[in-house]
Structure 1
Amino acid sequence: MTDYFNAFEISPVPDGPDAVAPDPFLGIYAMPMFVKIPTRDLRASTDFWVRGLGFVDLFSVPGQIVHLRRWAFQDVLLVPADDDAAGSAASTTQVFISCVLGQLQSVADACRELSPDSVTGPYDTAWRTRDISVITPEGAHVTFTAATPFTPDSDVGRDFASVGIFAPGDSEGGPQ
């Protein structure tokens, strides 16, 4: 398909190997997407998401909901689990959160301090990211993913080009 175009300017994700993460976004907006995760212990889950994963408690209704946020459009709602089925729902939840390379180790360290066996990684993927995987207290699987530098003439760059994904400004990719 050739209808794709470069739209990085609308993303809150900073680009580049030395990118600096934005501060948590505290504005109120109509959320285009969010994740709702049931938990048996709102306080413990909130503590882990805030101190371990770097979210802020945007607002809470005690005993009903905790609205967490990192960057713009990284919203998570923690809600009380209703029954045993809710725990299994959380354990099958997978959330992927963009970050910058410089954040991976500090998030991994903070989570390991709170729960020593909660983190796997960091590890590199075939699609040029470095990731860590975290199991939260409620059993959600959270992957923090950071872009690694893109080299168009690398194996990954050639693999991307073979499926029609070109580096910004690459003449083969059309207008970028």
Structure 2
Amino acid sequence: MDNNLYPAFSISPVPQPTADTPTPELFRGMYGMPSFLTVPTADLEASANFWIEGLGFFDFFSAPGQFVHLRRWVFQDVLLVPGERAAETATATASFACVEKQLEEIAEACESILPGSTAGPSIKPWNSAELDVVTPENFRVTMTAARPYDPASTEAQNLKEIGIEKT
């Protein structure tokens, strides 16, 4: 395995995790979107409310009855469009970065809007804490927060075993 990995946090909108990582501001600038999600919904208003009040997005711009363009941080864009709600919850997930201190707040907000919509947060072997959310559209979202690196942790050992070491 080629292990030419290096820290590149300077080019990412996601802050390097620390015990007191500040939450990045919502990003209101214009840019060419390198990727975004399109999520069909039977109720644009209810869906937008869940994504805004529950998941922390904002209405970047919208055309009533046609679409709602939501955003959180840089490169976290979602386009809600009219369509049918999926009959079953998607097996694929979309993951959005957040900071660890946001996970409980997001879980509480989502649960207040749609009880039973969250699971977690849970600690993952790749050193993140993750909250799984099923949106009103039956779309699966994971809010994921990198955790501070502790070289003595099980997660650090897991990463080392696959050839990833913090330098």
TM-score scaled to structure 1, two decimals?
Answer: 0.87
Q: Secondary structure at the match of 1:91?
A: coil
Distance 2:12 2:88 in 1: 29
Q: Which ranges in structure 1 are unaligned for 5 or more consecutive residues?
A: 171-176
Q: What SS does structure 2 have at the residue aligned with 1:122? A: strand
> What is the TM-score of this pair, normalised by structure 2?
0.92
The answer (yes or no) to whether the contact 1:38–1:90 under 8 Å persists in 2 is no
- Tell me the equivalent position of 1:4: 5
Runs (4+) of structure 1 exceeding 3 A deviation are: 88-93
| Other-structure match for 1:124 | 123
Would you say the 8 A contact 1:39–1:90 is kept in 2? no
Instruction: Report the CA distance between 1:94 and its aligned residue.
Output: 1.5
List gaps (5 residues or longer) in structure 2.
Answer: none
Tell me which structure has the larger Cα radius of gyration.
1
The superposition leaves residues 78-110 of structure 1 with CA deviations (integer Å, 9 ceiling, x where unpaired) of 0111x5xx6258734521111001101111111
Question: What is the number of equivalent residue pairs in this alignment?
Answer: 165
The aligned runs of 1:78-97 (5 Å cut-off) are 78-81=80-83, 83=84, 87-88=86-87, 91-97=90-96
SS, match of residue 46 in structure 2: helix
% identical equivalent positions? 45
Please provide the CA RMSD for this pair.
1.6
1:68 Cα deviation from its structure 2 partner:
0.3
- 1:24 aligned to 2:23? no
Q: Separation in 1 of the partners of 2:59 and 2:88?
A: 22
Q: Deviations over 1:17-46 (max 9, x none)?
A: 211111110001000111110001101000
For residues 62 and 38 of structure 1, what CA distance do their matches in structure 2 show?
15
Closer/same/farther in 2, CA of residues 94 and 88 from structure 1, 3 Å limit: farther
Higher helix share: 1
